[in-house]
Amino acid sequence: MAETLILTGFMGSGKTAVGKRLSEKLGWDFFDADPLVEQHLGMPIHEIFEIHGEPGFRKAEEAVVLGLLEETSRAETGTVVSLGGGAVTIPAVYERLIREPLVVLLDEDINTAFRRARGGKRPLADDIDKFQALYSERESLYRRLSKYIVDTRSLNVEQVADRIISLIHERTGIL
Ligand code: S3P
């Protein structure tokens, strides 16, 4: 059975870019949860929110993320999974993540995160005050279930990927 390294963190924290780079460095598979949810319902995220509302999006996200983690737990090669920023708010996903050993939080400055996340594709990133409030609501969830926290301020994608590898290596000897 191979390892699954799971990246979590708020919108705009760099989960997708870091996840891709990490998987290249490790020679592991990479899955980004958001596009899988889009495939699952056959439409982009902003449309899912318009048509099914946030509850409809979370329902699909729950099915996709739990299915994916079940698959990667049985895979023969390692996998990096980048979650959507709100996956941690789904109780069944949270319960699953609590039991996973390689959950890494990307901790980014909120203004930088908003600058990256805004611009139409993310329904929950259209207003800085709401964005900030949502982050405050979620912060303790991220911190509670993450086994590693990387402060990404002033680090580039390559440096964040290297930092994750060395943190996990120091603590566990793997990677
Ligand atoms: C969301 C984060 C997004 C996406 C959706 C909702 C959230 O993913 O799943 O727009 O609730 O934080 P990213 O964190 O990859 O932007």
Residues with CB under 6 A from ligand 1: 11, 15, 34, 45, 84-86, 117, 122-124
Q: Where are the alpha helices (DSSP H) in 31-86?
A: 33-41, 45-74
In this structure, the residue with its CA closest to atom 16 of ligand 1 is 11
User: Whole-number mean pLDDT of the chain?
Assistant: 97
Amino acid in the structure at residue 96: R
pLDDT band at 98 (very low <50, low <70, confident <90, very high): very high
Q: Answer yes or no: is pLDDT of 120 > 90.
A: no
**Closest among 31, 35, 29, 15 to 161, alpha carbons compared:** 15
CB 131 within 8 A of CB 124: yes
Can you tell me the distance from the alpha carbon of 32 to that of 30, in angstroms, rounded to the nearest whole number? 7
Tens of pLDDT, residue by residue over 134-167, are: 999 999 999 999 999 999 999 999 999 999 999 9
Atom of ligand 1 nearest to the CA of 13: 14
Tens of pLDDT, residue by residue over 38-66, are: 999 999 999 999 999 999 999 999 999 99
Bridge partners (DSSP) listed for residue 5:
80
Q: What is the DSSP letter of 102?
A: -
